[in-house]
Amino acid sequence: MRMAFFSCLLIGLILLSPLHGIAKPGVSAVNAVLMNESTGEVLYEKKAHEKQKIASITKIMTAIIAIESGKMNETVKASKRAVYTEGSSIYLEQGEKMLLKDLVYGLMLRSGNDAAVAISEHVGGSLEGFVYLMNKKARWIGMTNTHFENPSGLDGEKHYSTAYDMALLMRYAMNNKIFEKVTKTEMYKSESREYAWKNKNKLLTTYYEYSTGGKTGYTKSAGRTLVSTASKDGTDLIVVTLQDPNDWIDHINLYEWGFENTDKPTIASPKDSTGFSESFGNIYRQIIGIDING
């Protein structure tokens, strides 16, 4: 009886420790950062300033430049270069016309590389001109360890960023109401499509009730990359992970720890006997049981 009691107590302490300030959560990512969106304060970091390939989280920059261009209601004609861009796609056809607004949704929800090129050619005059704008914007935001080669995130020798810089970018982008609306959209249907696009960000669509947006990324060389945002009881947080095989779980762990260790909410989350919030415990089990790698 006594042994069973101490076993239960030990398990409870292990479960409680990452959520209640006893210890910071460990993450599988090579690089990670947890940032307070409102203040810019870094609450957790792991090699956050190390330059890495970033894959499709690049598209956050592509989207915000497109949105700020003021051309969202203009019609874009897909070029051969856009249509034949390798990687993920919204399946544009050469010569197809689509609103820039729709391309931005296709870019963010479905990670369309063809959409990225079409956007860049329309907004920047050329892909190369748009990349110039991307790098200029990065310097203006303060992304001192970032350089872009393309608008999609395909691997390149001079295409890199850091977890910290990408958090700065997301913090900046989330101040734009149009971007905020796009990134938190779960489903979107363009008038030129017979089917709707579902957001690939499973934190938003399935796993985490406090999720408010983000962008996924993957290449074989960069591994899994993820930028996400979450909001709970008036606290807004940003998490970035690079080279992370367990990114869904790591983001939830960091958010739960972050929400517990920033200013206390006025209304406490319901707890079960182990100290988990009920929502977190359920979602954690769901990820373990269904899909750990997305």
- Is 215 annotated to bind a ligand? Reply is yes
66-92 burial by CB neighbour count: b if 16+ within 10 A, else e? bbbbebeeeebebbeebbebebbbbeb
| Chain centre to alpha carbon of residue 259 | 18
Measured in degrees and rounded to the nearest 5, phi and psi for residue 191 equal -65, -20
Task: Write the DSSP symbol of residue 206.
Answer: I
| Angstrom distance (rounded) from CA 160 to CA 157 | 8
Closest CA to 225 of 254, 250, 252: 250
Of these residues, 46, 59, 200, 202, which one is catalytic? 59
CA distances for 101 relative to 12, 66, 118, angstroms: 49, 9, 12
Give me the residues paired with residue 213 across strands.
229
The SS3 of residue 172 is helix
Residue 145, CB half-sphere, CA atoms under 13 Å: how many? 16
φ/ψ region of 241 (left if φ > 0, alpha if ψ in -120 to 50, else beta) reads beta
Residues 6+ away with beta carbon under 8 Å from 286: 206, 207
59 is a catalytic site residue: yes
Of these residues, 46, 53, 88, 111, which one is catalytic? 111
Helix orientation angle between 113-124 and 127-141, rounded to the nearest 10 degrees:
90
69 is a catalytic site residue: no
Closest CA to 91 of 69, 115, 73, 108: 115
Query: Based on C-alpha coordinates, what's the Rg of the chain?
Result: 20
Give me the residues paired with residue 35 across strands.
42, 238
88 is a catalytic site residue: no
Of these residues, 24, 46, 56, 228, which one is catalytic? 56
Q: Kindly list the catalytic residues.
A: 56, 59, 111
Extract the annotated binding site: 215
Extract the annotated binding site for substrate: 215
